Amino acid sequence: MTPTMKATGLHAGWNGVPVVRDFDLDAHAGEVHLLLGPNGAGKTTTLLTLAGDLPAIDGTVEIDGAAVKSALHRRARQGVSLITEERSVFMGQSARDNLRVGRADVARALALFPELEPHLDRAAGLLSGGQQQMLTLARALARPTRVLLADELSLGLAPLVVGRLLDAVRGAADDGVAVVLVEQHVARALAIADRVSVLVHGRLVMSGPADELRSQPELLAQLYLAAGSAARSDIPSNGSADRDADRKGATA
7-64 residue pLDDT tens: 999 999 999 999 999 999 999 999 999 999 988 899 999 999 999 999 999 999 999 9
Question: Mean pLDDT over all residues of the chain?
Answer: 88
Confidence tier at 227 by pLDDT (50, 70, 90): low
**Continuous H helices in the chain:** 43-51, 72-77, 95-101, 106-112, 129-141, 159-174, 186-192, 210-215, 217-229, 241-245
What pLDDT shows up at residue 88?
84
The C-alpha atoms of residue 193 and residue 210 are separated, in whole angstroms, by 6
Q: In this structure, are residues 52 and 75 in contact, taking their beta carbons and an 8 Å threshold?
A: yes
> How many domains is the chain partitioned into structurally?
1
Residue 48 placed within a domain: yes
Residue 200 placed within a domain: yes
Residue 181 placed within a domain: yes
What pLDDT shows up at residue 39?
87
Residue 72 placed within a domain: yes
Nearest to 76 by CA among 49, 52, 99, 106: 52
Q: In this structure, are residues 219 and 37 in contact, taking their beta carbons and an 8 Å threshold?
A: no
Beta bridge partners of 166: none
**What is the chain's length?**
252
Whether this prediction's pTM lies above 0.85 is answered by yes
Q: What is the mean pLDDT of residues 206-225?
A: 82
The C-alpha atoms of residue 59 and residue 204 are separated, in whole angstroms, by 14
DSSP one-letter code for 143:
S
Distances (CA, A) of 3 to 46, 179, 199: 17, 11, 20
Domain of residue 66 covers 5-245
Q: What is the mean pLDDT of residues 243-247?
A: 34
Beta bridge partners of 197: 35, 207
What pLDDT shows up at residue 248?
33
| CB under 8 A, 24+ apart: contacts of 69-73 | 72/250
Q: In this structure, are residues 48 and 6 in contact, taking their beta carbons and an 8 Å threshold?
A: no
Confidence tier at 184 by pLDDT (50, 70, 90): confident
Residue 252 placed within a domain: no
Dump pLDDT digits (tens) for 119-142.
999 999 999 999 999 999 999 999
Lowest mean pLDDT among 29-33, 84-88, 182-186, 198-202: 84-88
Nearest to 189 by CA among 154, 223, 224: 154
DSSP one-letter code for 17:
E
What pLDDT shows up at residue 219?
79
Res 245 pLDDT > 80: no
Q: In this structure, are residues 228 and 38 in contact, taking their beta carbons and an 8 Å threshold?
A: yes
What pLDDT shows up at residue 250?
34
What pLDDT shows up at residue 228?
58
What pLDDT shows up at residue 241?
36
Res 4 pLDDT > 90: yes
CATH code at 104? 3.40.50.300
Residue 251 placed within a domain: no
Dump pLDDT digits (tens) for 79-98.
999 999 887 899 999 999 99
Distances (CA, A) of 116 to 81, 147, 182, 228: 20, 24, 24, 41
Percent of the chain with pLDDT over 70: 88
Residue 152 placed within a domain: yes
Confidence tier at 243 by pLDDT (50, 70, 90): very low
The C-alpha atoms of residue 190 and residue 202 are separated, in whole angstroms, by 21
Residue 56 placed within a domain: yes
